[in-house]
Amino acid sequence: MTAQTSGARPIRRALLSVTDKTGLVEFAQALAGYGVELVSTGGTARTLREAGLGVQDISDLTGFPEMLDGRVKTLHPRVHGGLLYIRGNDEHEAAVAAHGIAPIDMVVVNLYAFEKTAALPGVSFGHLIENIDIGGPSMVRSAAKNFEDVAVVTRVADYPALMDELKASHGSLSRATRWRLARQAFGLTAAYDAAIAGTLDRIAPGAEEAPAPDAPAAPDASAFPSTLRINYPLAQSLRYGENPHQRAALYDDGSGLGIAGARQLQGKELSYNNLVDLDACWEMVREFTEPAVMIVKHTNPCGAATGGTILEAYQKALACDPVSAFGSVIGINHPVDGAAAEEIAKLFVEAIAAPAFTAEARERFAAKKNLRLVEVSPAPVRPVVKNVSGGLLLQDADAAMVAENELDMVTWRPPTPEELRSLLFAWRICKHVKSNAIVYAKDGQTLGIGAGQMSRVDAARFGAQKAVLPLAGCVAASDAFFPFPDGLETVAQAGATAVIQPGGSVKDQDVIDTANKLGLAMVFTRMRHFRH
């Protein structure tokens, strides 16, 4: 393909102004090697000069000094005219010639790290505002709009491929490359503006009025954003969605945290369903500090347990429902060692999420070629977004959990210390089970789980029916109140001796009376955990 048919344009002058200087010198050296004139600003110019490169200061190009603490340096007709004029357009050519405007064929820009600044603890309002880039996005948009003639480079990751193309094309870039770069550039400015608007939208009214120099930009924790902005880059296309006839893709926030930012160590490509289940079991095990293992199918736990070691926790979790555990996804909250890996490897598992895997664990899993191992770093708790026809629902994440001293002892018999520990464990698991939910548990181990039933009494029956281990002397957790005594009677018949539930029903007294009659200990949390 010739330069003409590919729409290639030679790069003769490039303007470089970057905050992230990774790979900058090497890229600039490659440009200079093709005779490209380098124009630069501030710290970027210093870096290039220190590397021995010839650089024209932006003030020499514009004939105007950088001023206002660097706020004004590239906002000038000789910059934007050089970027925006259409080459070969007689009227444009005459205008730039009349005003002495030279063409700029490439812009290399990355923006002030606004999101990193906003994430700093105690960042002041003034510092936040000062880190809003104006000149950078303006140049990026000008260059991207005129991509037919100008290349805009906004990602360090693009440098190697661009250097290869410049070498192959003797200092030119194709139209296809310029168009790809322009699309990336508009995505960058859109995400940047969304980050600014979203951050400022969360600052409490009044926090921006004459703040002290070191006063933090106080968030407005009480308010949802006036406009919901979701702007995540594509991380990967998936083979399909929940079913083969549905398309799917993963987008992430670029943090490298959580399931979206997890590092896959081995196994087949993660599927849509894998990712959903991994997120479910990972969020579940994060409820615990002691070693914990959650075995999940279709986002519901089929077994969950804590133990002195990961191996012990896994064996207890598996014992709850070994049949359903086949083809499951597993979440583990401590590094997986060789002993645990040896035992887990005996079961067919789709994927495992954990903070780390030891060398011994990876060696034992290596024979399971299709098993996905995923290393996850905890992500901050964020609001939950769900689609509804015509819009989106937004809610706080269900991060709340009751402590022992917050429980209401509503029966004449309080739970024993052993029952109380089991109740708090069951309550944490119940929070992650689809409603209506009943969880039977004992000694840090689930025994039976009734998930997603249309009536609470059916959830109680189903959880008991699914139990493989004896239920005698167990406890039961209900994610919402018992509307009638029949649900409570069912868990008692199954073998439960203590119950934890939110309370709040008009029939609460009837349920309490039934618990007293049956000799059950019952506590109210005054907090519901519906999960739709």
What amino acid positions are annotated as catalytic residues? 145, 298
Dist. CA 386–CA 478, nearest whole Å:
24
**Position 312, amino acid:** E
Which uninterrupted H or E stretch holds 60?
helix 58-62
Residue 58 CA to residue 280 CA, distance in Å, equals 52
CA angle 183, 185, 189 (to 5 degrees): 120
Quote the distance between the C-alpha of residue 387 and its chain's center: 17
**Cα 31 from Cα 38, distance rounded (Å):** 8
- Please report where in the chains the tokens 């709040």 appear, as a residue: 504
Of 150, 167, 34, the closest CA to residue 81 belongs to: 150
In sequence order, the 6+-apart residues with CB closer than 8 A to the CB of 279 are 258, 259
CB 399 within 8 A of CB 522: no
Q: Which token pair is 494?
A: 């199954």
DSSP annotation string for 420-434: HHHHHHHHHHHTTSP
Q: What's CA 7's distance to the chain center, in Å?
A: 39
Find the helix or strand (DSSP H, E) in which 298 lies: none
Distance from chain centroid for Cα 233: 11
